[in-house]
Structure 1
Amino acid sequence: MSSLLEQFLTVFEAVVQIGLVVLFASLLVRRNVIPKTGVKLISDTVITVFLPCLIFSNIVGRFEPSEFSYWWALPLSATLITIAGWGISTALFARMGPEKRELKPVAFLQNAGYFVLPIGQMMLGGEFEQFALYVFLYILANNPLLWLIGKHFLRKREQDEVFQWSQVLSPPIYANIIALFLVATGARAYLPDVVLNTATFLGEGAVPLGIFALGATLGTLDIDLRRYLKPGILVLLQKLFIMPLVVLGAMALIPWMRSDPLLVLLFVLQGASPPATSLILQSKSYSDDSERVGTITVMCYIVCVISIPFWVGLAEALFPTS
């Protein structure tokens, strides 16, 4: 029990540190120290420059397929977990009114990168780069699914917009694909050191800037907790409690998922992570009521300060690493 409590407190401290950065950035936006018009610039800079550099440098610099022969199972796992979440939300929200269309993706599409990476960085120290590699292979499938499924649920039914690959193949995905190509073909041996070193240098800013961008995005929202408390409880139930329980069940049944302590941490964090903030951006673009998605997302980020340490501690107790 003392070990479980110790693990809980370790993760709790990491989540609280992230929460303080998020709160600080959010307050800067709400106080108009940072104008709301500048939030998109911050977010776009992270997405188009810093995060792709982190992904590229990590995969090209560290990924050895011969040492991790089941690397393809990570994007496959992301796909299967997403499908499972979709199925659960269909049953859970079956009796809800029209608003269920917007709430379903919030209940199973998690913040797979911006929230998971800093927790890993604060917990793991020297092992963070290997953990980050696992995260990038996971989001290789997760991010395209996030945009495809999110848009499917959040746009108005009467909208007839032409499909654009640019909305799915974001810069982080391009960085993933290019880096994997260089590794698979052996072309990375011919990559000048200055290119990899520059990408590594820029990538080091991705995690703190990503958390700051997350807080700034949340700071732009109009929040009405009382109005959306009831539907929010269902989303909280699935996203922060049912999904991590499903992932733990899968880990108990599939030995590979618990074969490495870093994989254990990866999967439990992916299952327990709060909703992706990109759903807020999609809601603002396609929905009549982005306030609902934004408010419930904020509720999840508040509750996860307690729920994530609980699930990580439970995973460590169920699947001890030593």
Structure 2
Amino acid sequence: MDATLPDLSSIFFASAQSCSQVLLVCFAGYLAAKLELITTNIQKNLSTLIINIFMPCFLFSNVASSVSPETLLSLWPIPTYFVIFTLIGSVLGIFSGPLLKLTNSNTKFVTSGIIFNNVTSLSLGLLRGLEKTDAVLILRWNPDDTPSDIVKRGISYVLLATLWTNLLRWSLGVYLLKKESSHPLIPQHNVSTEISDSDPSKHPDTNEMTPLLASKRSSRPFVEKWSRVKTIFKFKFMNPPLYAALIAMVFISIPPLRSFFFSKKAPLLPLTQAIEFIGSVSVPLTLLTLGAQLKNLSSSKSKSIANMIAYVLTCRLVIMPVIGTVMVLLTKHWYLSDPMLWLILILMASGPTAVNCINLTQLTDNYQEEMSAVLFYGYVVSIPLVTILLMVILSCFKEILYFN
């Protein structure tokens, strides 16, 4: 291994650049809200556009064009570690309830902040930053790899991880952040039974129509049950980004269909390019709306959830990275001996809460201000911590590859 470990300043610049660009775009949204260029109504309209148009296009264009069936099979560590890290994050989130004495709803909020971390934009930012430094040479798999080759391989790994994270984020995440009813539903049949039993005069009269009504009601139990199933499937669990991710899975599973849309000479390439162009707007617009949301965050609410913010950041930026680093280094001999794959697996367990979580809160209309605070403080704190993590990872990789 002839690559030398870059100095602290070059690695710090690579990691700080990727985190700082997130904060700067958020700051632009904050200023726009302060100048009343982004009002509350505009913010809500932007959120609607992101959820229903921009984010689905972003997910479909990135996932369907970059992942193939072969990739899914050869890179089995990515979905495997994704499941493991999700389970660990869930345990940490559930443990926050009794530890911090939280309500069930707040426990779910903390759990969502721990499970759903920034796998895509932060990792891609780090890769682009590392490409311009000597640090990228430590991540070579083949001696002939150029910095561009190394980064392209890393991007494909990140996008594969993005597929699994978005499938979970837009399904489980919606469940965790949805509003909980404070008034439990009262079974109507129990009420009617109590009234009938307590007051004989309230019993319904029996006439020639009664058997017909009873027959009609009992003859359609399957239709009624199926109607309930469709309602639950359509409104409680499904949403445009999740539909887009599932459609991308279909394209991945059918190579001819994928090539018909995404190959260089594909007949419908202009359509997919248009979808990709529309989707590229989702990340900056999400950050702008996040900054505008921070403008409306009251200091009193920020203080009232300080314990939850501290717990989420500790799990996301300290506990999970340590667990991920140790697991990957201990199991690296079980799969491809590619340092870039090792790095992406560790980043899957690291980093602050995903920016897209603010879209989840906008979709469910719940915990928007609280999530904004978690994201703001998370990206402020993540700059030095991600830098330290990257320094440790690259140092370990250099030693491993040198002795091998």
Bin of the TM-score, shorter chain as denominator length? 0.7 to 0.9
Q: Match of 1:176?
A: 245
1:6 CA displacement: 2.7
Deviation string for 1:62-113 (max 9, x for gaps)? Answer: 4343356334543343232111111123335533213452433323332344
1:108 aligns with 2:115: yes
1:148 CA displacement: 1.9
Q: Match of 2:278?
A: 202
Q: Match of 1:237?
A: 314
Q: Match of 1:14?
A: 18
1:135 CA displacement: 3.4
Question: Superposition pairs for residues 293-304 of structure 1, below 5 Å?
Answer: 293-304=371-382
Q: Partners of 1:207 and 1:197 in 2: how far apart?
A: 17
Asked whether the equivalents of residues 361 and 368 of structure 2 are also in contact (C-alpha less than 8 Å), the reply is: yes
Asked whether the equivalents of residues 59 and 279 of structure 2 are also in contact (C-alpha less than 8 Å), the reply is: yes
Instruction: Identify the match of residue 148 of structure 1 among 148, 153, 172.
Output: 172
Deviation string for 1:262-292 (max 9, x for gaps)? Answer: 43443333323222355556667576x7654
Q: Match of 2:222?
A: none
Q: Partners of 1:278 and 1:197 in 2: how far apart?
A: 23
Q: Which runs of 5+ in 2 are unaligned?
A: 133-147, 186-230, 262-266
Q: Partners of 2:243 and 2:152 in 1: how far apart?
A: 20
1:276 aligns with 2:283: no
Asked whether the equivalents of residues 252 and 258 of structure 2 are also in contact (C-alpha less than 8 Å), the reply is: yes
Deviation string for 1:133-172 (max 9, x for gaps)? Answer: 4334323332343342563366436466974455544434
Q: Partners of 1:262 and 1:175 in 2: how far apart?
A: 28
Q: Match of 1:215?
A: 291
Instruction: Identify the match of residue 315 of structure 1 among 370, 393, 399.
Output: 393
Q: Aligned in 2, Cα 1:130/1:53: closer, same or farther, shift over 3 Å?
A: farther
Asked whether the equivalents of residues 108 and 238 of structure 1 are also in contact (C-alpha less than 8 Å), the reply is: no
Question: Superposition pairs for residues 1-322 of structure 1, below 5 Å?
Answer: 3-66=7-70, 69-99=73-103, 101=107, 102-124=109-131, 126=148, 130-146=153-169, 147-149=171-173, 151-152=175-176, 155-156=179-180, 158=182, 163-165=232-234, 168-185=237-254, 186-191=256-261, 192=267, 193-224=269-300, 225-255=302-332, 259-277=337-355, 279-280=357-358, 285=364, 291-320=369-398
299-308 or 109-118: which moved more? 109-118
Q: Partners of 1:2 and 1:301 in 2: how far apart?
A: 24
SS of residue matched to 2:74: coil
165-174 or 237-246: which moved more? 165-174
Q: Aligned in 2, Cα 1:6/1:93: closer, same or farther, shift over 3 Å?
A: farther
Structure 2 counterpart of 1:269, one-letter code = L
Structure 2 counterpart of 1:148, one-letter code = L
1:249 CA displacement: 1.8
Q: Aligned in 2, Cα 1:198/1:278: closer, same or farther, shift over 3 Å?
A: closer
Asked whether the equivalents of residues 26 and 290 of structure 2 are also in contact (C-alpha less than 8 Å), the reply is: yes
111-120 or 248-257: which moved more? 111-120
Q: Which runs of 5+ in 1 are unaligned?
A: none
Q: Partners of 1:160 and 1:117 in 2: how far apart?
A: 45
Q: Partners of 2:157 and 2:295 in 1: how far apart?
A: 30
Deviation string for 1:229-286 (max 9, x for gaps)? Answer: 3443222211211111111122112326774444344333332322235555666757
Structure 1 counterpart of 2:20, one-letter code = V
Calculate percent identity across the aligned residue pairs.
21
Structure 1 counterpart of 2:315, one-letter code = Q
Larger Rg: 2
- Compute the RMSD of aligned alpha carbons: 3.6
Asked whether the equivalents of residues 272 and 307 of structure 1 are also in contact (C-alpha less than 8 Å), the reply is: no
Asked whether the equivalents of residues 103 and 293 of structure 1 are also in contact (C-alpha less than 8 Å), the reply is: no
Q: Partners of 2:295 and 2:335 in 1: how far apart?
A: 36
Q: Partners of 2:320 and 2:290 in 1: how far apart?
A: 22
Q: Aligned in 2, Cα 1:318/1:41: closer, same or farther, shift over 3 Å?
A: farther
